[in-house]
Amino acid sequence: MSVDLNQKIYVAGHRGMVGSAIVHNLRTKGYSNIITRTHAELDLTNQATVAAFFRLEKPSQVYLAAAKVGGIYANSTFPAEFIYDNLMVQNNIIHQAFTGGVKKLLFLGSSCIYPKLAAQPISEDALLTGKLEPTNEPYAIAKIAGIKMCESYNRQYGRSHGVDYRSVMPTNLYGPGDSYHPENSHVIPALIRRFHEAKANNAPEVAIWGTGTPRREFLYVDDMAAASIFVMELDKATYDGQTAPMQSHINVGFGSDITIAELAKAVCSAVGYQGDISFDASKPDGSPRKWMDSSKLNQLGWKPSITLEEGLALAYANFLIRL
C-alpha cells in the first residue's frame, strides 16, 4: 500500500520516551509534515484548547503517545491524577480528532490493561476477563477506556465517516528518553542508575529487591516506534483481519522474557560494573511472569530488530549524555 509522506501527522507526547522515538522514526521514513505541541503550549486535559488545536491544524493522522505515566510509587501515590489526566487527555484527543475529521489514529495503551492473573503469554483476548493489578488499576481503567473509545468510534462512525482508530499495547519499554528518577523509574533505568553509581563509587556489591526469579519482557523504544508506524501503515482489511470490532487492540512485545537476575547481569555488563550482585528475598517480587503474546503482530509481518544487549548499550550511552 502506498503511504502519503506529506500528510499532516500530529504526534501527541512528542517529548516523551515513546513520542520522541515515533517522531524520529517517522522522519527517518520520510514523513515530512509532523506537527507537535509541548505540554506548556497545549494542555491536553483542556477540552476547549484541544478542540481549537484540531480546528486550526486539521491533521490527517494522530499518534496518541501523551499520557501520565509512572511506576508503582507514582501510581499508588497519585491515583486520582492517573485516572483523571489519562481519561481527559485521551477523551479530548480522540473526540476532537473525530470532530476535526481525523480518519486514522493510534492509541498507545499498556500491558497493565490485562488481568493480574492472566494466562501466559497474555493474548489480546485476555482483556476484561479478570481483576487488574490493584496498584495501577486507575491507570489501567483509563487505558481500557481508551481502547473502548477507539472501538466505539469505529463502530459508530467507521462506515459513515471512514474512521479507523487503532490501539497497540506495548510491553515494558526502555531506551533514550527514559525516566531515571530515583523513586519513580521502571526496572531497567533503575538498574542502570544503581550499577552506574556502584561503579563510580567502587561499591563491592549491589543488592536487588526480590529473589531475581520473576520473568519480564522488555522492548527497546525504537522498536516500539517502528511497530506503531507499521500498525498505522497496515491497510484496513489487513488490520481488520487480525482484530475484531470489539477487540481491536494489538500486543507489541519482544517475543521472549528473561528473569530479573538475567536482566541484572545484562545491565551490569552494559554498564561495566565489576562487583557482585545479591538478591534481597525479603523484598516483594511482584507477579511471577508478565509475558505478552505478540503472535498477531508477528503474523502481520513485524518483529523487533534490537536485541536486549544492543538496547542496553544504547540506553546506557543516553544515560551518560544526560548526567
List interacting residues with ligand NAP (CB under 6 A).
13, 15-19, 39, 43-45, 65-69, 85, 89, 108, 110, 170, 172-173, 186
- Beta carbon nearer to ligand NAP, 43 or 262: 43
Provide, rounded to whole angstroms, the least separation between the CB of residue 239 and ligand NAP. Answer: 20
- Beta carbon nearer to ligand NAP, 45 or 259: 45
Measuring CA to CA, which residue among 165, 80, 169 is closest to residue 123?
169
Provide, rounded to whole angstroms, the least separation between the CB of residue 203 and ligand NAP. Answer: 27
- Beta carbon nearer to ligand NAP, 41 or 205: 41
Measuring CA to CA, which residue among 277, 276, 272, 274 is closest to residue 313?
272
Based on the residue annotation, tell me whether 63 is a catalytic residue of this protein. Answer: no
Rounded CA Rg of the chain: 20
**Catalytic option among 10, 63, 139, 174:** 139
- Beta carbon nearer to ligand NAP, 221 or 268: 221
Provide, rounded to whole angstroms, the least separation between the CB of residue 213 and ligand NAP. Answer: 21
Is the four-CA dihedral 82, 69, 233, 121 of positive or negative sign? negative
| Residue nearest ligand NAP, Cβ-based | 16
Provide, rounded to whole angstroms, the least separation between the CB of residue 154 and ligand NAP. Answer: 19
The number of beta carbons lying within 10 Å of the beta carbon of residue 134 is: 12
Q: What values do phi and psi take at 52, rounded to 5?
A: -65, -40
Provide, rounded to whole angstroms, the least separation between the CB of residue 41 and ligand NAP. Answer: 8
Q: What values do phi and psi take at 64, rounded to 5?
A: -95, 85
- The DSSP code sequence of 8-74 is -EEEETTTSHHHHHHHHHHHHTT---EE---TTT--TT-HHHHHHHHHHH--SEEEE-------HHH
Distance CA 41, CA 52 (A): 12
- Beta carbon nearer to ligand NAP, 68 or 166: 68
Catalytic residues: 139
